[in-house]
Amino acid sequence: MAPPQEFGVSIEPGTGTVTVRIRGDLDMSNTDALTTALTEAASGGDVLADLSDVTFIDSSALNAVVASARALASSGQRLTLGPRSAVVDRVLEITGLAAGTDDFDVQPAPEGRASSG
């Protein structure tokens, strides 16, 4: 079993949309930091979550993403799940969230990694 990968976040302001780059293992030990990063990064704009360097995501972290999306939506902002690892894609497929919800959008998977459902 591979050792856990350190959780990290970087925020890149943009015009109208802030990119939040998230890396490492997402689990119950960092859901508060994940929620804070996604909701406080917005600064009145929309948020693009780059999950391409996520190595693991559990249900508590997925719940934090959904809760963050709802919080942003209630403020008139939008969360979009952008680039993401195959691990994240698989979890989104299994949970039925691969197409997004009323509260968040999911960009299409890269060519060659289309949804199997």
**What is the structure's pLDDT at 114?**
52
pLDDT band at 117 (very low <50, low <70, confident <90, very high): very low
**CATH class for the domain made up of 8-106:** alpha beta
Question: What are the pLDDT digits (tens) for 14-71?
Answer: 888 999 999 999 999 999 999 999 998 877 689 999 999 999 999 999 999 999 999 9
**Among 85, 22, 75, 74, CA closest to 48:** 22
> Model pTM?
0.89
Residue with tokens 């680039």: 83
Cβ burial of 72 (10 Å; 0-12, 13-18, 19+) is buried
